[in-house]
Amino acid sequence: MRRFVLPGILMLMAFMLAGCASAPATPQAQRYYLDPSVEMYHYHTYGFLQVTACRYLDEAMPSDPVMQADYLKRHKHPDGPVSVHYTDEVVWRVLQLEMEKRGYQQVDPTQADILIAYYGGPRPLTPMKSTRFQPCAFDEFFVRNELTPHSFFVDLIDAKRGVLLYRGWDNSTYASSSTPEPFNVLLSTRSCIGFFPSSM
């Protein structure tokens, strides 16, 4: 489930090298990219480009991500990792909560100003073609300096223009061979979206 295909993402991102703000010269200590030309007053709604997390919903699991992490820790098999399906659910719910805290309203993806997609961790590392990115020089920097087989990253995309607005990433939480503890998944997801601005 956690086999990552680097060649695919390398080829995809190598194709997208021109058109957005220039990439930073050195790797960033704070692992995020925000297009400096973004004017946030244009954005008020969001939707998930990936919606498969819905099918993983456990009706007994609390909606609050912190309570989810505790629930998963108490209900996993004592000798086994948390199900990757549940991990995906935690990521999805944390992103919902963080966007709500920033003043964004979740709507149908076809009506959204921003599309959210995430890769690595509980999902394949290779982005889907349906992200419809316009070329972006940051991707070359990301592939050369930050991307690892263990990377987990969250992309926020301008839904109308197909332009990458923001990317936050984490290269450590999913580095082990087993699925990380739920609370670490929660913290990782929060850190990835932590520098995305609030709605204006």
Spell out the CATH class of 31-134+149-193: alpha beta
The pTM for the full model equals 0.71
Residue 46, token pair as written in the block? 């969001």
| Spatial contact of 86 and 72, defined as CB atoms under 8 Å apart | yes
Q: Are strands 45-48 and 114-119 parallel, antiparallel or unpaired?
A: parallel
pLDDT score at 122: 72
Q: Where are the domains of the chain?
A: 31-134+149-193
Q: How confident is the model at residue 51 (pLDDT cuts 50, 70, 90)?
A: low
The most confident of 53-57, 120-124, 135-139, 163-167, by mean pLDDT: 163-167
The model's pLDDT over 80-113, given as tens digits with 9 standing for 90+, comes to 545 556 677 788 889 999 999 999 999 988 899 9
**98: phi then psi, degrees, rounded to nearest 5:** -65, -40
**Where are the alpha helices (H) located in 36-116, listed in sequence order?**
65-75, 84-101
C-alpha 53/C-alpha 27 separation (Å) is 31
C-beta separation of 196 from 166 below 8 A: yes
